[in-house]
Structure formats: C-alpha cells, structure tokens
C-alpha cells in the first residue's frame, strides 16, 4: 500500500516530556512544570480542528510513573482531577470527545468517577477526539487484551484460528480509534517508552528538543505541516 498523506495526519499521538526539567531549570518544583504542561494540553487540543487533526492521544501518566516520589504522584493525580473539573465545560463547548485509556483499577476512585463522567458528558461530540493515556503502558495493554481474548477462547466465543491482526486490536483499549499517523515526543529523548506499541507500527515519528511546557500551537502546526509532505509506504515500494 502506498499513500501520500497530502491531507495531513488524522491521528497525532504525543509523549509530553520535559515538564520536570523545565521547572528545575527555573528553580521551581517539578509540579510547577506539570501545571504549565497542562495549560499546553488545552492549547494543543483547541488547535486540532484548524490543523485537520481529528484524533489526539496524549501520554499523561505511564504504568512506570508510579516509581516517582509520592509527592509528585499525588500532585499529578490532583492535577488530573482538577483539570477535569475545570475544563469539562470548555471541552464540551469545543466539541471534544474525551476518552481515557490505561488500567483504571489502580487509580483513585474519585478520579475514576470524574473520568467516567467526562467520557459520558462528551460522548456526543465529534469535532476532536481526545484520548488521555492515564496509567497506561503498551505492554500492559497487550497483556490485558490477551487476558480478555483468552477468556473469550475459554468460554467458546472465539476460535484460536480467528486470532489475527484484525481481531486482536478489538481487545485493545484503543479499539474504536484509528492507528496514529504521527507520534511526537518532546524534550530531546528519542524513545517511545511503552506508548501505543501495537498501534504505532506504521506511524511516523518526530522527536523534538522543545520541552513540553514550551510546546506551542505554532510548533504543532509546523510539525503537522511537515508530515503532510511525507510519503508513507506501509512497507510497499515508492511509486
């Protein structure tokens, strides 16, 4: 399959890295950087419709992030709760449909309730689809999917011969989303850190030095524009 993405990426995924360094370089606590990062989330979500980006998926908290200090983890959880409460009205008005991916079992019940409510209240929206990865890890997602798949086989609802590249993704957290066309990581690190492992098989990657709190609508627009000229071959030959 050969495809020139003249229309730009439909689905952009972002690893928002560098909040801690941004704060430390200013002599401030790491949470100060996360708060600045949250403001950028809002800016980038609202930029999507003009850029033709229909799906935006952001990595907010990984299954590995629990290893951070208790102060940082609980500060981040409070930030997520407050972000939902504060931004719900704006997200609804902007036509944003919000979904969360990741394992909710370890999350605080109050936070999960707010996540469920935000998903429900934005369910009818279709202008932008924002997916927030919270307590998400790609390997964990594949393991959880495999567990459900095995349960379906055990109960006779699925034949082992029917497990293939089409059926397996139906068990992933992202089952209703298209695969990302473009994955951006900020802060100069060139790693994918367990983000959307299955889904990014054919994604383009963009690693930029900018720290997440300095990321802007203009930088986002520039990267999206650059992607539009790329020729994606999905393993086929160029024409």
Tokens of 147: 């567990």
Q: Does 220 bind ligand FPP (CB under 6 A)?
A: no
Footprint of ligand FPP on 101-130 (CB under 6 A): none
CB 127 within 8 A of CB 94: yes
Dihedral angle of Cα 119, 121, 98, 96, to the nearest 10 degrees: 170
The phi-psi region of residue 217 (left if phi > 0; otherwise alpha if psi is between -120 and 50; otherwise beta) is: alpha
Which range binds ligand FPP by CB under 6 A, 5-13, 14-22, 139-147, 163-171? 14-22
Q: Would you count residue 21 as binding ligand FPP (CB under 6 A)?
A: yes
Give the separation between CA 144 and CA 162, rounded to whole angstroms: 18
Regarding 37 and contact with ligand FPP (CB under 6 A), the answer is yes
Answer yes or no whether residue 46 interacts with ligand FPP by CB under 6 A: no
Q: Which residue lies nearest ligand FPP, judged by its C-beta?
A: 20
Residues in the chain: 239
Numbers of helices and strands, H then E, in the chain: 6, 8
Does 19 interact with ligand FPP (rule: CB under 6 A)? yes
Q: Would residue 126 show up in a list of annotated catalytic residues for this protein? A: no
Return the residues of window 143-172 that contact ligand FPP according to CB under 6 A.
Answer: none
Between residues 21 and 230, which has the closer beta carbon with respect to ligand FPP? 21
Site size with ligand FPP, rule: CB under 6 A: 18
Contact flag: residue 83 with ligand FPP (CB under 6 A): yes
Residue 207: CB partners within 8 Å, gap ≥ 6? 184, 185, 188, 189, 190
Q: Which stretch binds ligand FPP (CB under 6 A): 75-83, 95-103, 157-165, 224-232?
A: 75-83
Segment contacting ligand FPP (CB under 6 A): 13-21, 107-115, 144-152, 226-234?
13-21
Burial of 205 (0-12, 13-18, 19+ CB in 10 A): middle
Active site residue 65: yes
Q: Is 20 in the site for ligand FPP (CB under 6 A)?
A: yes
């Amino acid at each position: 399959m050969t495809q020139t993405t003249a229309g730009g990426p439909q689905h952009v995924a972002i690893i928002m890295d560098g909040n801690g360094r941004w704060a430390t370089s200013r002599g401030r606590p790491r949470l100060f950087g996360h708060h600045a990062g949250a403001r950028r989330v809002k800016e980038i979500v609202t930029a999507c419709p003009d850029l033709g980006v229909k799906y935006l998926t952001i990595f907010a908290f990984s299954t590995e992030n629990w290893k951070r200090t208790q102060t940082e983890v609980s500060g981040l959880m409070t930030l997520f709760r407050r972000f939902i409460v504060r931004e719900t009205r704006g997200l609804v008005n902007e036509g944003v449909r919000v979904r969360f991916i990741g394992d909710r079992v370890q999350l605080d019940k109050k936070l999960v309730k707010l996540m469920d409510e935000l998903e429900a209240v934005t369910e009818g929206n279709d202008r932008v689809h924002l997916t927030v990865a919270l307590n998400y890890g790609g390997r964990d997602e594949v393991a959880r999917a495999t567990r459900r798949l095995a349960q379906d086989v055990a109960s006779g609802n699925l034949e082992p011969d029917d497990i293939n590249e089409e059926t397996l993704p139906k068990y992933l957290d992202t089952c209703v989303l298209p695969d990302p066309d473009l994955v951006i990581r900020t802060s100069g690190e060139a790693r994918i850190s367990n983000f959307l492992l299955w889904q990014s098989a054919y994604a383009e990657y963009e690693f930029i030095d900018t720290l997440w709190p300095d990321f802007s609508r203009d930088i986002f627009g520039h990267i999206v524009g650059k992607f539009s000229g790329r020729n994606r071959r999905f393993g086929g030959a160029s024409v």
